[in-house]
Structure 1
Amino acid sequence: MRLIISVLYLIAVFSPGECGNILVWPTRGSHWINLKIILEKLIDRGYNVTVLVPNPSPFMDTKESDRFSYQHFSVSMAAQDMHDFLKELVHFSAYESDKLNLLQYQIKFYELAFKHQDMAFLYCDGILKSPELMDKLRNGKFSIVLSDPHFPCSDIVAEELSIPLVYTFHFTNTYIVERKCGQMPSPPSFVPAAMTKLTDKMSFRERIKNMLFYLTQDIFSIVMWNRMDNYYTEYFDPPMGQDICM
């Protein structure tokens, strides 16, 4: 009996496996760099990877690698507008944020965040409201949708294609998603929030600043996710928004 069990176990272990097709939701910048490392490992293991890329796209060079398949979709936004937004975001993060007080920082951050969300909605429209593209994706025999939640709507496509959705995180400001959805412990008096440039050795004044930053981001997330709910009502009833905690 032990011999039979051993033989069956070996058959199960060494039986041929079939790698699936992975659909990758569009992203950019450091989020794409983080995602690309994962995709290259999946390709090494035999998976086929198709990356959705907006057209125009000043952020991704679709000729840099023949290992990926690229599926372009149209966005009603000029490439220069995308480039200008990214330039403004990088300039704010690298040069302006240190010179602003907490209130000025939050006002500028909210302005950029709303611009980013509006751009993300254009990405959603370019994919979800293109019958030709959606039909092509349905016929693509994809096994999963892989996404960084930095850009929304990947859950809608996964639902439309009736396939699983897998998230991979770079990070979110003050780890808002990781804390509220992943239950990641992050006491604001000890853990410096992402984007504050604080270290694990904070003065009392810096701890107060860090806690206020956490609080404002928590309030901000409610506003942003309510905007998501308004968009998601077209596809889900009742509305569920970008509820990645589900």
Structure 2
Amino acid sequence: MPIFSANISLLYTEIPFIERLSAAKADGFEAVECQFPYEASAGCTLAEIQAKTAELALPMTLINLPAGDWAGGDRGIACDPDRVVEFRAGVPLAIEYAKALNITHVNCLAGIPPEGLSEELIKSTFIANLTWAAEVLKKENIKLMIEPINTFDIPGFYLNHSQQAVDIIMAVKSTNLYLQYDAYHMHRMGEDILDVEDFMPFIDHIQVADHPGRNEPGTGEIHFSDFFMLLDELGYDGWVGCEYKKLHRANFFAQ
């Protein structure tokens, strides 16, 4: 069975961010991840997060790069040619958090490109930003991830399929850019998650949620027992992030 981390951006949202760390530990998770740990989003300081994760001996495995104005509708800015300076300014902040919390993986959300731009410009902007960020993060021993996201949850999101992500990774030509494979998103885009073997050489983090509802595996239609067995067969030894909304039974991963 894979090893699981709790995504505290979606789980335990009924309590403050800092308290979600203790809730995850109490439910038996061995690590946590989150989308945006930054003070404006989390409502607590980096020092507070650092102290709590140390107290609980609960590592944080993954965060996102700053993704623009989330409340205003941004879902990443990496493919927007008018926001390259803003994108690059967010990387040092992510590094600050990653270094303080011993985070090894940082995810870059491609975003929703502005209307009227050519595919060539959008793609070249994304590739250029990733090329720059991958090398900056490599110097800090932090892996850069990209994540395809379904267009039902985020209409217009630029990066939608596993093969598209692999094509981008190949175009960037960096040894420090990897695929963050979210089984929920890829299932919603019509991919068979049992074909994950095709993309395993590029994958360095996996996330799960069931459909419909984006709740805990076992509550919907996705055959996660087969998926988890396949990950074991393929020798995947990285984290599987539980990026879903509701935990229906504690310690499902121990069963």
TM-score (norm 2): 0.28
Higher relative contact order (CA 8 A, sep 6+): 2
TM-score (norm 1): 0.29
Larger radius of gyration: 1
The structure where helix makes up a greater share of residues is: 1
